[in-house]
A = this chain, B = another copy of it.
Amino acid sequence: MTVRVVVADDQALVRRGFAMILRVDDAIEVVAEAGTGHEAIEAARLHRPDVILMDIRMPGMDGLEATSRILREADWGVRVLILTTFDPDEYVYEALRAGASAFVLKDIPPEQLATAVRTVAEGGAMLAPSITRRLIDRFAQRRVAGTAAAGRVGRLTEREREIAVAVARGASNSEIAERFLIGAATVKSHVSSILAKLGLRDRIQIVIFAYESGLVEAGDHDVGH
């Protein structure tokens, strides 16, 4: 099965160059080219490609905005591969938030471009090595910062950790009592113990501590207890 691709770049030469590079790969078919963000959206609607190769800097609507719009309205499985020339400090996070599946610099070897397109088409993601590093550091940092406080978590007993998490989820003492099938007084005593061991003032500080230490994490969370 061939991968159907749209190439979007404001410079016709670059655009055509990429298209030719991709056409060498039998598994890839370039179905359209676009020179602006609007044209990219048009082409996406018209051809319903599997992958869009998107430049960031384009006149009128830029690639990030176009990416965001295409992915918001697309009812088929389209993935966007961002191609950019320069060090993409400010763009990369915005692009990932917009839903891009790849972010590669234009200096990659030609044969890797086709590999990237196929990878993206298969549901994978691909980032320039420097960006991958930044993303990993960002991920690990949260944990490194956590370990400082996480040392204190070790002083809590198993039960206390459970209850600390429940507190961090927003449960009241009576709710915790119900959930764990114990008395309200017991919960109070556990909470007091947690506060004493962690040197905190009130349950609010427990919530903050839990988020800062990684005991709980934003997102992995069923709010509707």
Answer whether residue A139 sits at the interface, using C-beta atoms and an 8 A cutoff: yes
Interface string of A85-121 (1 = CB under 8 A from B): 0000000010011010100000000000000000110
Please determine whether B219 and A145 come into contact, CB atoms closer than 8 angstroms.
yes
**Contact of A3 with B by CB under 8 A:** no
A126-B129, A208-B207 known; A136 vs B136 contact (CB < 8 Å): no
Chain B residues with Cβ below 8 Å from A142 are: 218-219
Residue of B nearest to A119 (CB): B129
A160 in contact (CB, < 8 A):
no
Q: Are A132 and B126 in contact, CB atoms less than 8 angstroms apart? A: yes
- Which residue of B127, B141, B212, B221 contacts A132 across the interface (Cβ within 8 Å)? B127
A129: contacting residue among B96, B125, B211, CB under 8 A: B125
Tell me, yes or no, whether A47 is within 8 Å of chain B by CB.
Answer: no
Contacts of A219 in B (CB 8 A): 138, 141-142, 145, 212
Encode A205-225 as 1/0 by CB contact (under 8 A) with B.
101100110100111010100
Residues of A within 8 A of B (CB): 93, 96-97, 99, 101, 119-120, 122-130, 132-133, 135-136, 138-145, 168-170, 201, 203-205, 207-208, 211-212, 214, 217-219, 221, 223
